[in-house]
Structures are given as structure tokens and as C-alpha cells.
Amino acid sequence: MDSRLERDDLSTNSNSVPFEEPLHRGSIFRPSVPNYILLYLYQSLSFIFSSTALILVTIWACCQQLWLWMSRGSRRSTAYEWDIPRGTDKERAVRDLSYYANQVGLDIRDDVVETDDGYRLRMHAVLDPGLDSGEDRRGE
């Protein structure tokens, strides 16, 4: 009995989805000696090109670092703004965030809000005391 006929008989069932055969069977790659040779050739070329690119990028990065090291020497030529201590050595290590906010001129307000379903949320707001209370704080 033909298998296609059997599938058609099964597809007449109202609960089943009709089966459509694919246009081509199997994969596009058909195992043959020339196809295997092409596959290995493409894989080898891909490996050679990607490895060459990786080696060139690595050599270039090493040359850049060597050039910077030789031109700069062992001394550091510039001091950045964040490297200069500005009285932070007198700060205490505390668990209260409002202490650190006060150090930079801000204030932190803690609120507990109850949602409609009774869940309580702890909310924090960072405020700038220099702003008027009527100003829009939405960032627009």
C-alpha cells in the first residue's frame, strides 16, 4: 500500500492536521567526495583567515602598548581630577546613606507607602535642598 495514501487516510480524521511533505528531503549538503573536499577547504580557509586577523590585532595592540610605555617611560605624566584627595580621608564609614548625601549637599527622604492590596513599600527620594519646592523635578 502506498504510504502517501495512508497519510491521506489519516489526514481525513477531523482531529489531525494535514501533513505537507517538504519540497526537498534532507539537508542541502549531500555527502559526496567533492562536497566533503569543499567543506574542508572552506573550514580551513575560515580558520586561517580568522586566526591571521586575531594574530594581527594582537600584535598591533602589543605594539601600541609598547609604544606608550616607551614614550611615557616609568613616570606618570598626568594626574587626573579623581586621583587628587579632597578631604575624603576625614569621612567616616557609616551605614546611613543620608550622611554621604549631606556631604555633597543633598538630602534623602525615606517613606513607607502602602499599596492598594496592603503591601508596604519602602521608598527613598534624593532631594536637592537648594531647589524651590514649587520647581518641576521631573527633569524636563
pLDDT-derived band at 40, boundaries 50, 70, 90:
very high
Cα–Cα distances in Å, from 9 out to 5, 18, 19, 23? 6, 10, 11, 21
The larger pLDDT score, comparing residue 14 to residue 82, is at 82
Q: Quick check: 134 pLDDT over 70?
A: no
Mean pLDDT of the region 80-103: 76
Amino acid at 5: L
C-alpha span between 103 and 16 (Å, rounded)? 72
pLDDT in the model for residue 44:
96
C-alpha span between 135 and 128 (Å, rounded)? 11
The larger pLDDT score, comparing residue 67 to residue 86, is at 67
The larger pLDDT score, comparing residue 70 to residue 31, is at 70
pLDDT-derived band at 76, boundaries 50, 70, 90:
low
The larger pLDDT score, comparing residue 26 to residue 49, is at 49
User: Domain boundaries in the chain?
Assistant: 20-72, 88-127
Hey, what's the torsion of the CAs at 39, 43, 44, 47, to 10 degrees?
A: 180
C-alpha span between 12 and 21 (Å, rounded)? 16
**pTM score, two decimals?**
0.34
C-alpha span between 49 and 42 (Å, rounded)? 11
